[in-house]
Every structure is written in C-alpha cells, then in structure tokens.
Amino acid sequence: ETGVTQSPTHLIKTRGQQVTLRCSSQSGHNTVSWYQQALGQGPQFIFQYYREEENGRGNFPPRFSGLQFPNYSSELNVNALELDDSALYLCASSLGSNGYTFGSGTRLTVV
Amino acid sequence: DQQVKQNSPSLSVQEGRISILNCDYTNSMFDYFLWYKKYPAEGPTFLISISSIKDKNEDGRFTVFLNKSAKHLSLHIVPSQPGDSAVYFCAAGRSGAGNEKLTFGTGTRLTIIP
C-alpha cells in the first residue's frame, strides 16, 4: 500500500508566475484535500475534491484552483503568485471519514 | 479568526515524565478532534482522535481528554520518549459539514530531554 506522494518537493517561482503542484493519493482513497501551511502556522484548508468534484473550499481566492482525476490523483494550481503564497503545501487523501493520510508536502518559495 | 488555539508554542519535558499538550477551540459546532504529529520534512501523521460524545480516549502511551464545557482538549503522553520530539497539531472537524475539512491549531513543538 503506497502512501500519499507529492511532487515536486521544492519549488522556487517568481512573483506573477503560475505553479502546478501534484499529488498521488493513497491507494483506494477517493477524497483529496489540499492545505497551505505558512511558517509558524498550522495547516489551513484550501479545498477538497471527492470523485473529481470540488467538495468544500476554504478562504482562498479564485486564483487557487484544483483538479481531481479519475484515478483520484490531484493538482493544485496557483495563478499570479504573490510573495505570501510562499508556504508548505500539503495534500491529504482519505476514504470517507477514516481520517487523512498526508503527503510530505511541496515547499513553494515565491521571490 | 483562530478557531483552534494552541497557546504554547513550545514545551520541554524530561524523558520518562508526562507531556501535556493543550488545545482550546471556540466553534461549538466542532464534534470531533484529532492530534497530529509532524517531524521536519514530513507530512503530519495521525496520532489519536476523540468524538465529542466522549471525554477520554486512550491509545497506548497517548490519551486525549475533552472538556466540552470549557472547549478544551489535552493530549497526555506518558512516559515521554526521545522519539516523541516533534511538532504536535490539534485539529477539529464537523461531521455534518458535508466534507472533511479540518481546522488546525498553530502547533506546539515538544522537546523530550534525555
């Protein structure tokens, strides 16, 4: 049973650029959630996907968007990057209400 | 609006003693609570959870206590071991929300002193 895999592990982007982060969910998990963890803060909910549909969204602007694919893997896209978008982005997969399995995250630095 | 608060950013405990990590919440709609542990360069890993219908849940060295009237929960680790050194996050959720969004606290860095 493989866990949650995120790529890339680290990324440096310039302000105004666009970025795509990827997540492969744990085998059998049909729900993927994305969180942003800024330095010194706890993870903050961005959105969740269930069977390829968005199923809940946190307080993030529309330039944060996502996709879930038929194999339940997922992408997080951020347009028009801002310096404050620098953070650790965590993907978590789950099956029903059995709790999350988190990936190790993607560290995004915007310069 | 910090709905889940961990007011101690750090805690140091002697090996073998009890570690007590605290968490307060403000949203009375939360009905389940979880503790996650995070090592550097890794994602958070689930430790233990508790439903609001209980006031205590135990799993080996880890016990979570919930005081609903005070909107307070705590994680007890006994005896503490060096491998317990990590950042601990408290998280809360609403089972009727239609999704599995969790609201996290800011974390407490626990250091176990050998």
Rounded-to-integer distance, Cα B32 and Cα B96, Å: 11
Residue to substitute from B4, B23, B31, B100, interface A, most A β-carbons within 10 A: B100
Of B41, B49, B100, Cβ closest to residue A104: B41
Other CB atoms within a 10 A radius of the CB of residue A104 amount to 18
What pLDDT was estimated at residue A96? 66
- pLDDT tens-digit map of B57-112: 999 999 999 999 999 999 999 999 999 999 999 999 988 766 778 999 999 999 99
Position A103 pLDDT exceeds 60: yes
Is residue A90 a contact partner of residue B44, using CB atoms and an 8 Å limit? Answer: yes
- pLDDT tens-digit map of A23-74: 999 888 889 999 999 998 999 999 999 989 999 999 999 999 999 999 889 9
Q: What is the DSSP letter of B84?
A: G
CA distance readout (Å), A24 to A52, A86, A102, B35: 13, 22, 11, 24
Is residue B43 a contact partner of residue A88, using CB atoms and an 8 Å limit? Answer: no
- pLDDT tens-digit map of B65-76: 999 999 999 999
Q: Count residue pairs from A and B with Cβ separation < 8 A.
A: 59
Interface of A with B in 5-24 (CB under 8 A): none
SS3 category, A105: coil
Distance from CA of B44 to the nearest CA of A (A): 6
Amino acid at B56: K
- pLDDT tens-digit map of B9-60: 999 999 999 999 999 999 999 999 999 999 998 999 999 999 999 999 999 9
